[in-house]
Amino acid sequence: MAGRFITLEGGEGAGKTTQTRLLKNYFEERGFEVVVTREPGGVPEAEKIRNLLVQRDGGNWTPMAECLLFFAARQMHVETLIKPAMAAGKIVICDRFTDSTVAYQGYGHGFDLDVIRQVEVLTLNGFKPDITFLLDLSVKDGIGRSLKHNSGAVGAENTEDRFERLDLSFHERLRDGFLTIAREDPTRVKIIDAMQSPETVFETMVSYL
């Protein structure tokens, strides 16, 4: 039996980590093997690229260079981890995927959406998640949660704040971008109110599975 590919999307502080853990437990309790991964990252090559993209001092990339780096990491991730896991019948749960590149680089930074889609076709050839959960909440609440989390982090995690440090107008465009993506692909992308309790958010996700 072929596996499933599930992604979680949303702005900063949406609670994706908590919901990923709950989903993992849900599937494992039902006898599935589960692979939990993230983007950018998931495999050694992509994790190296992650350091260039999300660290506070990762670099001042041009929009095209940044887009290509994200998709280079994603192509390695898909071909060497996600597809093999699915072929083995496993459930793959990923924190972010292509929707994040469209939302962050496209809607947030204003990079040409058509170019992003062209690079997506070139690198992924139509590969998409089976279902995507968009955890939606206000920018003010999301940034507040994220900064609180990072303030208590140790090591590299507390400097992965390159995007949190951008101005609020960026994050408003980001949220609007995610909601636009969901409206354009409602069969795949399910919008969930992330201001609800974690238990309610999880129950809503399960109702779509």
pLDDT interval class at 160 (50, 70, 90): very low
The CATH number of the structural domain formed by 4-208 is: 3.40.50.300
pLDDT digits (tens, 9 = 90+) for 40-76: 999 999 999 998 888 766 678 899 999 999 999 999 9
Residue 34: strand pairing partners: 91
- Mapping DSSP onto H, E and C, the string for the chain reads CCCEEEEEECCCCCCHHHHHHHHHHHHHHCCCCEEEEECCCCCHHHHHHHHHHHCCCCCCCCHHHHHHHHHHHHHHHHHHHHHHHHHCCCEEEEECCHHHHHHHHHHHCCCCHHHHHHHHHHHHCCCCCCEEEEEECCHHHHHHHHHHHHHCCCHHHHHCCCCCCCCHHHHHHHHHHHHHHHHHCCCCEEEEECCCCHHHHHHHHHHHC
- CB burial of 92-126 (b: ≥16 within 10 Å; e: otherwise) equals bbbbbbbbbbbbbbbbbeebeeeebeebbeebbee
For the entire predicted model, the pTM comes to: 0.89
Q: Any idea which of 48-52, 139-143, 150-154, 195-199 has the lowest mean pLDDT?
A: 150-154
